[in-house]
Amino acid sequence: MSARILNKFMTIKELHEKNKEELARLLSEKREVLRKLRFDVASKQIKNNREIRKTRKDIARILTLINENK
């Protein structure tokens, strides 16, 4: 899958609708997207660094919801 497809901005409302397993799956996908974005920026294939910031914020939102549910 393309990093741009998976890097859709997630709202907290959308994340609240997901269960724990879906959040864990989404977390691993977002971490993989972040890894790919970092490599793409380092190899100068992508000039838009803002995608990294958005992905990191999505990861933080997901981790917050996972920790709230504990």
> Each residue of 11-61: pLDDT tens digit?
788 888 888 899 999 999 999 999 999 999 888 887 778 889 999 999 999
Integer-rounded Cα Rg, in Å, for the chain is: 13
Residue 7 has pLDDT above 70, yes or no: no
Cβ burial 8-45 (10 Å sphere, 16+ → b, else e): eebeeeebeeeeeeebeebbeebeebbebbeebeeeee
Architecture of domain 3-68: Orthogonal Bundle (1.10)
